[in-house]
Amino acid sequence: MSVELVDYDEAVSRFDPVIGIEVHVELGTRTKMFDAAPQTFGAEPNTAVTPVSLGLPGALPVVNGTAVEYAIRIGLALNCRIAETCRFARKNYFYPDVPKNFQTSQYDEPIAFDGWIDVELEDGTVFRVDIERAHMEEDAGKNTHVGGSTGRIQGADHSLVDYNRAGIPLVEIVTRPITGAGERAPEVARAYVQTLRDIFRALEVSEARMERGNVRADVNVSLRPTPESPLGTRTETKNVNSFRSVERAVRYEIGRQAAVLDEGRAVTQETRHWHEDTGITTAGRIKSDAEDYRYFPEPDLVPVAPSREWVEAIRAALPELPAERRRRLQGEWGYSDPEMRDVINAGAVELIESTVAAGSSPAAARKWWMGELARTAKTQDVELAELAITPVQIGQLQQLVDAGRINDKLARQVLEGVLAGEGDPEQVVVARGLEVVSDDGPLLEAIDAALAAQPDIAEKIRSGNLGPVGAIIGSVMKATRGQADAGRVRELVLERVQG
């Protein structure tokens, strides 16, 4: 079904978008949330399950203490208050990937609530997002639809279920309605999810790999005529699993809802599905009222009451968070704001940090990664980190430059060699014979040859016109295949001619 969208700029000029985002993160614990089945990715189906993950009669869940600690870490990093006491609840619904016919979650008593996080957009604008809550729950199994033409649910004959993922600990983070972003709402949504991903990694609570579904976002979008109007009816687009898709899905919904409202119709409160391939959302089920889930306290699990001492110990042990770390590194490296922003947007912070640790100056590290290497990555259509060169090798390369053993021009050839798999910079220098000629002998030979070949230039220099010295230097560099130190050549030329 194709829908006539209102042009994006047009839509945001006449409507004020409000978004809300729910992010689920799978915690990287060794075992599941409520049982000791190992967490595995890509294992044979139904080989990482216990009676608890299968919801067999009589099986009793026990809370994974490490998962609770991770949830508290996340709550603290998001500036939340941590509940003095909280409990689990059963969210009842029937779906084959939920073997117990309920998901063990938290409802009225989340472990963390009332937080905020600052999100930095690509141009450096900082936008504060308020966090309503972060609660603990468990993941569902995985359905595969069989039959039908597309592997989708429509037209399928039957479905197959693998419960390996069922019971993996999740933390769900829910924002308050994000208002005031206006036309930048899609960007804010993307930056928010990206910020959370970076925080999960820094906290070491999850590998946070989007492509594996470790982090999944549901995006709520509604429109209202003006920022003063009451909130409009929202839709919730489920399982948007890349940063780019988060931005696109919000953008799409703004255009679609504007079209619906323009026709004088009402937006239907519903769940929508995101289609990565076509970049559109389609209607799913009508959103259930919360009461349909018939939440009630989980009788098999006693409350979680983290002592204040424990919470403070976790707070004290929190690692440096990405935003702080970026500020510290910018100070240490002496980069300007735009320089640092470019480095962040290129995903080069870690690379430069490691390069500096390997002996390069921050300025040189930035020059390599944001210059020559950025161009190479663009040509190869890969991320910087995927290039066949390591920060340590860049550090070694720069040390060769600093020691005067190679010049910038040679360094680029060495880089080329390393990227081509010819080994470390030192090996490439030796194998390709790229070292700067520091012995004056061969240089003088080349200079004499150049002067003899261009007598008119030699005469000019002799008569005190230093302008054409460059031409002689050029010839010498060419003769030595770039391996001469241009400064030294200049000195020698002048000595030769005038001396």
Partner 1 sequence: MSSLSRDEVARVAGLARIDLSPEEVDRLVGELQVIVDSVARVSEVATPDVPATSHPLPMTNVFRDDVPEQPLSQADALAGAPATEDGKFLVPQILGEE
- In the complex, the residues that contact partner 1 under the rule CB under 8 A are 29-31, 36-38, 44-51, 54, 56, 62-68, 85, 87, 92, 94-96, 143-146, 152-154, 156-163, 273, 282-285, 292, 294, 297, 299, 301-306
Q: State the minimum distance, in angstroms, from the CB of residue 276 to partner 1.
A: 15
Nearer to partner 1 among residue 301 and residue 392 (C-beta): 301
Q: State the minimum distance, in angstroms, from the CB of residue 23 to partner 1.
A: 22
Q: State the minimum distance, in angstroms, from the CB of residue 131 to partner 1.
A: 24
Nearer to partner 1 among residue 35 and residue 253 (C-beta): 35
Nearer to partner 1 among residue 54 and residue 469 (C-beta): 54
Residues 359, 487: Cα–Cα separation, whole Å: 25
Neighbours of 395 (CB within 10 A): 21
Nearer to partner 1 among residue 37 and residue 377 (C-beta): 37
Nearer to partner 1 among residue 231 and residue 305 (C-beta): 305
E strand or H helix at 10, and its extent?
A: helix 8-14
Nearer to partner 1 among residue 158 and residue 265 (C-beta): 158
Residues 79, 112: Cα–Cα separation, whole Å: 9
Question: And the tokens for 421?
Answer: 């798999």
Q: State the minimum distance, in angstroms, from the CB of residue 137 to partner 1.
A: 17
- Residue 177 is classified by DSSP as P
430 and 417 Cβ atoms separated by less than 8 Å: no
Q: State the minimum distance, in angstroms, from the CB of residue 62 to partner 1.
A: 4
For the residues of 357-396, what is the DSSP string, one character each?
HTT--HHHHHHHHHTHHHHHHHHHT--GGGSS--HHHHHH
Nearer to partner 1 among residue 62 and residue 318 (C-beta): 62
Residues 316, 32: Cα–Cα separation, whole Å: 26
290 and 278 Cβ atoms separated by less than 8 Å: no
Q: State the minimum distance, in angstroms, from the CB of residue 292 to partner 1.
A: 6
Q: State the minimum distance, in angstroms, from the CB of residue 135 to partner 1.
A: 16
Could you give the strand order of the β-sheet that contains 89-92, starting from the edge strand earlier in sequence?
Answer: 102-105, 89-92, 296-297
β partners of residue 126: 120
Residue 70 to residues 31, 133, 154, 241: CA-CA distances in angstroms?
13, 15, 38, 22
Nearer to partner 1 among residue 244 and residue 294 (C-beta): 294
236 and 177 Cβ atoms separated by less than 8 Å: no
Instruction: Classify burial at 374, counting beta carbons within 10 Å of its beta carbon; exposed 0-12, middle 13-18, buried 19 or more.
Output: middle
Residues 73, 92: Cα–Cα separation, whole Å: 28
Q: State the minimum distance, in angstroms, from the CB of residue 216 to partner 1.
A: 17
